[in-house]
Amino acid sequence: MSAKSRRPIYLSYSGPQLLATSLLNKGTAFSATERRDFNLDGLLPARFETLEEQAHRAYLQYQSFAEPINRHIYLRMVQDTNETLFYYLLNKHLAEMMPIIYTPTVGDACERFSEIYRRARGLFISYPDRDNLDAILHNATKRHVKVIVVTDGSRILGLGDQGAGGMGIPIGKLSLYTVCGGISPAYTLPILLDVGTDNPELLHDPHYIGWQHPRISDQQYDAFVEKFICALQTRWPDALLQFEDFQQSKALPLLQRYQNRLCCFNDDIQGTAAVTVGTLLSACRIQNQPLSNQRIVFAGAGSAGCGIAAQIIRQMQQEGLSEADAKKRILLIDRQGLLSQAMSNLPDFQLQLAASTDELDQLGLASGADLLTVIQKAQPTVLIGVSGQRGLFSRTIIETMQDNCPQPIIFPLSNPSKQIEATPEEIMQWTQGKALIATGSPFAPVQIAQQNYHIAQCNNSYIFPGIGLAVIIAGIKQITDNLMMTASNVLATAAANQTIDQGLLPPITACQQISRDIALAVAQQAIKDNLAPPQTLAMLEAALEKHFWQPAYRSYRRTSD
């Protein structure tokens, strides 16, 4: 515990108001002196408990729930009541509880958000309130916000438009910023931009808690987001803004519009790309092949797939390929089949990555070819799924992959797990345990021929908490692709000793150390790239220790101010 954490906090809150403030509430851990000084006598049971004792009791209560969604609801209740206890509990049981607070269970929580809603957290900013944004931001209960996650609920995981229910994603993401990246919950704020919903079930649901109106027009949307960004820059000019789960038509344009105006990034595009490249580098090390030697096929060419592809191209360029040669090693398949530059209706972000006619001729492929044909003709060594289509990777697809590559790299990344392209167990059975696998959701180890194989979760929480921590300790003003590349390489280094049976990535319990390593490396790269004020490594390390928050109770002193 640092010297800072041992210093008392001076509070004017008391009685029920103090107990109702989740960031300050200690429940039964308030001392006898604190109970007297803060008018808590009689409001709590007589027993004094340590944080460890509270966590033990909370874990017993957690275990009493059988269904993941009920465990999610319970943990959210703990978070809304006592945040120190919540994060202490997560720290002790991270591998078990991360799938409950985030993917895959958070998908169910978003779909049932109106049903399970209990207590306000963060800001719901509705379009009808567009002329009152400054006041709304000042209504936030936190003054010193440093990390914000925002969504409009339009594309939640692979579940589509969830409207106001999308708020579950920013809440979950920011929990991971804290538990993995050591960012104090006092510095985080989830925001939902409620611009309506086109989900007919929500529009006709009498219990839906969002703005029950069809989504606004593109022109209204752009003006609303611009107002929001301007108000945000006025209120918290140095905060990191993470865009999360925006529909494909909005995600990349928003990133391109604002990435040079404020410190922001899109986790679905850049965070997913960074963790995927880091995991690919780990797989390539096991194969003893550079990434630049791989031929990669994507099933799914939305913002996530194209973001990953673009980052792979940058990594291949670092390994010595030209941009043109790197692009030739990547093929993308979407709803209309294999993407080619001959297609007239492709958006720019797909057209830039689509195969040329000459490339298709060399491979014997036609524009719009299906996945099996592409695998047969192109003979890829890597298959990445970001399609949201359960079962897309059939046995025939996987066996055809292995016909041309004895140890194929196969990443079915779609979330939640019910929409995965193929399960790890299926892939390992079809390849006799030879495939190198990473998934988007967590899966149990797979046993093949008496050997257990741990399955790496290509989880963005390996990346984004460290990015947020770097912004805080170094004062980074802009998030660039080069900084994301730095994070990818730190993750690959952390995975350097992994074996095929251990999985491609370290266990998620290593995420705090990985976040620390990413934060320092990204901060140094940002300083080198003139994206942050000059600091020495020693200064950065001191700032990291100062800001890295761990759940522990501090003593309180009463003040009348």
- Cα-based torsion angle of the residue sequence 531, 536, 537, 543 in order, rounded to the nearest 10 degrees: -80
> b/e for 374-390, b at 16 or more Cβ within 10 A?
bbbbbebbbbbbbbbbb
Q: What is the pLDDT of residue 415?
A: 86
Q: What is the pLDDT of residue 344?
A: 86
Is 45 in contact with 28 (CB distance < 8 Å)? yes
Mean pLDDT calculated for residue range 436-456: 94
Mean pLDDT calculated for residue range 121-141: 97
Using the predicted structure, report yes or no on whether residue 246 has a pLDDT greater than 60: yes
Q: What is the pLDDT of residue 418?
A: 87
358 annotated as a binding-site residue = no
Closest by alpha carbon to 326, among 338, 311, 316, 318? 316
57 annotated as a binding-site residue = no
Mean pLDDT calculated for residue range 74-88: 98
Beta bridge partners of 265: 242
Angle value at C-alpha 175, between 170 and 178, nearest 5 degrees: 130
| Residue ranges of the chain assigned to CATH 3.40.50.720 | 270-459
Residue 26 falls in the annotated catalytic set: no
Helices (DSSP H) in 112-247: which residue ranges? 113-116, 133-138, 168-181, 200-203, 218-235
Using the predicted structure, report yes or no on whether residue 535 has a pLDDT greater than 60: yes
Residue labelled with tokens 């007239």: 344
Mean pLDDT calculated for residue range 76-86: 98
Beta-carbon contacts of residue 208 (< 8 Å; ≥ 6 apart): 114, 163, 164, 197, 202
Mean pLDDT of the chain: 96
Top-level CATH class of 50-262? alpha beta
Can you tell me the distance from the alpha carbon of 438 to that of 495, in angstroms, rounded to the nearest whole number?
13
> Collapsing DSSP states into helix, strand and coil, what is residue 496?
coil
Mean pLDDT calculated for residue range 19-48: 97
pLDDT band, very low/low/confident/very high, at 5 (cuts 50, 70, 90): low
| Residue ranges of the chain assigned to CATH 3.40.50.10380 | 50-262
Mean pLDDT calculated for residue range 37-44: 97
205 annotated as a binding-site residue = no
Is 211 in contact with 127 (CB distance < 8 Å)? yes
Closest by alpha carbon to 152, among 205, 211, 196? 196
Range of lowest pLDDT (39-43, 154-158, 394-398): 154-158
Q: Which of 88, 102, 258, 553 is catalytic?
A: 102
Q: What is the pLDDT of residue 280?
A: 98
Q: What is the pLDDT of residue 4?
A: 52
Beta-carbon contacts of residue 449 (< 8 Å; ≥ 6 apart): 432, 433
270-459 topology per CATH: Rossmann fold (3.40.50)
482 annotated as a binding-site residue = no
323 annotated as a binding-site residue = no
Q: What is the pLDDT of residue 90?
A: 98
274 backbone dihedrals φ, ψ, rounded to 5°: -65, -45
Can you tell me the distance from the alpha carbon of 7 to that of 43, in angstroms, rounded to the nearest whole number?
26
Residue 62 falls in the annotated catalytic set: no
CA distances from 463 to 177, 219, 278, 302, 359 (A): 10, 33, 9, 21, 34
Q: What is the pLDDT of residue 2?
A: 45
Q: What is the pLDDT of residue 449?
A: 86
155 annotated as a binding-site residue = yes
Using the predicted structure, report yes or no on whether residue 177 has a pLDDT greater than 90: yes
pLDDT tens by residue, 333-367: 999 999 999 998 899 999 999 999 999 999 999 99
Beta bridge partners of 383: 297, 410
Q: Which of 26, 173, 250, 327 is catalytic?
A: 173
What is the C-alpha radius of gyration for the chain, rounded to an integer number of angstroms?
Answer: 24
